[in-house]
Amino acid sequence: MSERRAALVTGSTSGIGLGIATAFAKAGMDVTLNGLGDPAEIEKTRKGLEAEYGVTIRYDGANLMDGSAAEAMIASAEAAFGKLDVLVNNAGIQHVSPIEDFPIEKYNSIIALNLSSAFHTIRAAMRGMKARQYGRIINIASAHAHVASPFKSAYVMAKHGILGLTKTVALEGATFNVRCNAISPGYVHTPLVEAQIPDTMKARSLTREQVINDVLLAAQPTKQFVKVEDIAGVALFLTTPPADQINGAAINVDGGWTAA
Ligand code: NAD
């Protein structure tokens, strides 16, 4: 078994997840990547991280809409590295619509991926973490875990739910040196945010500039997008000894959005 920490980051083929996986690799962890995307691009990313940081990077293409696939992904990561030290539940999708028009299949997908997949990965990882007396679980929540915005009913439900899961797992792992925390980002300019701009333009009859300045950044007192690296830095901190007593917390990285 390698001396290096073994991490798994869901939804790490893009955006925040890729930023976290990169920060972990840079810090000397072996990492399992997960997420959808072009296989050639993903392989390029995997090889690039290995070459740059001298760690082992695996890829598991599990579709996390499916609980048994999530479970199998954890088992194969544990088998490959002999352990799983750090689990980041980050995979997520968004859909913006008034609730009366919200497509049922979009609702089901958002709950399955943004909420239930974290239950399934943690359920599968917890036994091993407790037995090894070490685990750091990080759930990527959102400012929408604390406050709502119109037209995001399923997303806001899922993100509020993930805080309940975070607190419960924090209590269950407390005496086993397993920690569970959430990070709540404000708006980070990733493909997920880019993709919702056209829907918000339509739902609110606004131009692209109005959506960016008057809807997205309107909530953020700093008037700046959060950077992927800001979230990755907090995630990495949560794996270090000074964070050992941080448990069941939600760390807001939102430019002051939820302070208002
Ligand atoms: P992104 O679209 O850039 O990345 C999402 C990742 O999830 C990708 O790797 C994608 O392949 C993966 N994914 C999608 N469907 C999947 C599936 N069925 N199975 C496995 N993986 C799947 O998004 P992002 O902005 O980096 O968001 C990452 C997380 O951060 C999400 O949970 C999101 O809710 C949260 N978040 C984002 C923002 C923001 O402003 N970008 C703000 C707050 C919270």
d(CA 68, CA 112): 12
Q: How many CA atoms lie within 13 A of 189 on its CB side?
A: 9
Non-local CB neighbours of 74 within 8 Å, separated by 6+ positions: 8, 84, 87, 121, 124, 125
Write down the pLDDT at residue 215. 86
Per DSSP, the three-state class of 29 is coil
Task: Enumerate the domain spans of the chain.
Answer: 6-186+226-253
Write down the pLDDT at residue 1. 67
CA 39 to centroid of ligand 1, rounded, Å: 17
Q: What is the mean pLDDT of residues 48-76?
A: 98
* Residues 65-87 pLDDT 10s: 999 999 999 999 999 999 999 99
For residue 10, is pLDDT > 80? yes
d(CA 176, CA 219): 39
DSSP code of residue 99: G
For residue 120, is pLDDT > 90? yes
Structure tokens at 160: 């509020």
185 and 253 in contact (C-beta within 8 Å)? yes
Type of residue numbered 8 = L
> Is 59 one of the catalytic residues?
no
d(CA 192, CA 187): 10
Q: What is the mean pLDDT of residues 108-125?
A: 98
Confidence of residue 193 (pLDDT cuts 50, 70, 90): confident
Type of residue numbered 159 = K
* Residues 88-102 pLDDT 10s: 999 999 999 999 999
CA 95 to centroid of ligand 1, rounded, Å: 12
| Least confident residue range of 94-108, 183-197, 239-253 | 183-197
d(CA 83, CA 184): 27
For 6-186+226-253, which CATH superfamily applies? NAD(P)-binding Rossmann-like Domain (3.40.50.720)
d(CA 8, CA 169): 17
**Residues with C-beta less than 6 Å from any ligand 1 atom:** 11-17, 34-37, 63-65, 90-93, 113-114, 140, 142, 185, 187-188, 190-193
**Ligand 1 pocket, mutate which of 10, 13, 14 (most atoms under 8 A from CB):** 14
What is the percent of the chain with per-residue pLDDT over 90, rounded to a whole number? 91
